[in-house]
Amino acid sequence: MFVWYKIKQLEKKIEEHKSWFENMAAETEEIKFTTYNELIQIKNSKDLNWEKAFLDEEIREAFYQLLLHRQFIGYHAEQLRKCKYDLLKLKGKAPSAFDKDGYSKVIEHGTSNNSMSILRNQLMDELKDDLLKFENEY
C-alpha cells in the first residue's frame, strides 16, 4: 500500500514538473527576444557601447533574469528525470546507475522530447556563430 501511494505521488510530481518544463521551454525563445529588446533599449537610452553596456547594472540585471529562467528550466528537467528514475525504481524497472545506455534511455523518456528539441535548437542557434569563430581562430 505504501509503495502504491509513493508511486501515485511520483506520478503527480512528474506531471507537475513536465507541465512547468514544457511551458517554460515553449516561452524561452520569446523571453530571449524580449530580453534582447530590453537590453538594446537600455543600451541606446544610456548611449552606451556594448563594452560599457555589459558593466551597466540595469543590463546585468536583465541578463540575470534570463539566466534565472534558464536555470529554472534546468531544475525542472532534472527533477523530471529524477522522479522518472525513482518511479521506475519503485516499479522494479529502473536500470542500474552503472548502465549508461539504460540510464540515458530513462532520462530521454523522462523529459518531453518536443521541449528538449526546442531548447536544443535554440542553444545551437546561439552557439553557431561562436563555434564558427572558435573554429576559425584555433
Contacts 24+ apart (CB under 8 A), 43-50: none
| Distance (Å, whole) CA 74 – CA 43 | 29
Tell me the DSSP string of 37-66: HHHHHHHHHTT--HHHHTT-HHHHHHHHHH
pLDDT in tens, 6-35: 999 999 999 999 899 889 888 988 998 899
Is the pTM of the predicted complex or chain greater than 0.75?
A: no
Question: Closest Cα to residue 22, out of 79, 83, 78, 76?
Answer: 76
pLDDT in tens, 85-118: 889 889 988 887 787 787 777 666 656 677 777 7
Eight-state DSSP code of residue 93: -
